[in-house]
Amino acid sequence: MSPRPRRALRLPLETDRLRLRELTTADEADFVALYGDGRITRHLLYGPADAEGARQQLGRALRHQRAERRDSWELGVELAASGRLVGACDLTLHAKDEAEIGYLLAHGSWGRGYGTEIAVALAQAAFGQLGVERVLSTVEIHNNRSLRVLDKAGLRWEGTLRRYARARRRWWDVHLYTVTREDWLTARS
């Protein structure tokens, strides 16, 4: 069996207002604050439960950044104008032709359109740089803000997955949102 072809993202990914970039050790305080805010994490199936968990997750992300072959990228989201970290996002290859995207934002950054910018940038990178045919995102069924973000970004509801995962001592139902390369390109032309 031949090895997987190497795929890489050219980073940072930039939007008009944001820079999606590799995390650094200097992000620790902001990263811990993001994951320590219950308003942010209440809809996350997985993720740190406390400050120490956030530090460990950051450490794993930093180690993973050094891997020769990667199938996932956990990135910091910073404001381009100030360099201030306001969130985190991820892009994960599930198969040679499919990628999943996700994001979270500091509470003070909600309602400004940043989520949509992140989702569009990640989908564009998945289709353009990684060459996937389909992008997906799963969203906890009560996370109405993220459902609107994905819709604005061009992903469409495909179905509801009941009992999708058991995490944080309960079963989670999620909505599955997807967009194909063809639909993405058509919508942008």
The tens digit of pLDDT for each residue in 1-48 reads: 444 455 789 999 999 999 999 999 999 999 999 988 888 888 888 777
pLDDT bin (cut points 50, 70, 90) of residue 97 is: very high
pLDDT tens digits along 102-150: 999 999 999 999 999 999 999 999 999 999 999 999 999 999 999 999 9
Specify whether the CB–CB gap between 58 and 33 falls below 8 A.
Answer: no
Please list, residue by residue across 7-34, b when 16 or more beta carbons sit within 10 angstroms of its beta carbon and e when fewer do.
Answer: eebeebbebeebbbbebeeebbebbbeb
Write out the residue range of the structural domain in which residue 124 sits.
Answer: 13-188
pLDDT at 164: 93
pLDDT at 6: 59
Alpha-carbon gap, residue 165 to 173, rounded angstroms: 7
Does residue 3 lie in a domain region?
no
Does residue 160 lie in a domain region?
yes
Does residue 61 lie in a domain region?
yes
Residue 158, pLDDT > 90, answer yes
Q: Which of 145, 50, 72, 55 shows the shortest CA–CA distance to 107?
A: 145
pLDDT at 46: 74
Does residue 4 lie in a domain region?
no
The count of domains in the chain is: 1
Does residue 7 lie in a domain region?
no
pLDDT at 3: 45
pLDDT at 67: 86
Phi, psi of 8, deg, nearest 5:
-140, 150
CATH number for the domain that contains residue 27: 3.40.630.30
Residue 90, pLDDT > 60, answer yes
Does residue 2 lie in a domain region?
no
User: Token digits for 103?
Assistant: 């994001």
Does residue 107 lie in a domain region?
yes
pLDDT at 5: 52
pLDDT at 1: 43
- CB neighbour list of residue 16: distance below 8 Å, 6 or more residues apart: 80, 117
* pTM over cut 0.95: no
pLDDT at 2: 40
pLDDT tens digits along 39-83: 888 888 877 767 888 899 899 999 999 888 899 999 999 999 999
**32 by DSSP, 3-state: which?**
helix
Phi, psi of 90, deg, nearest 5:
-145, 155
Does residue 5 lie in a domain region?
no
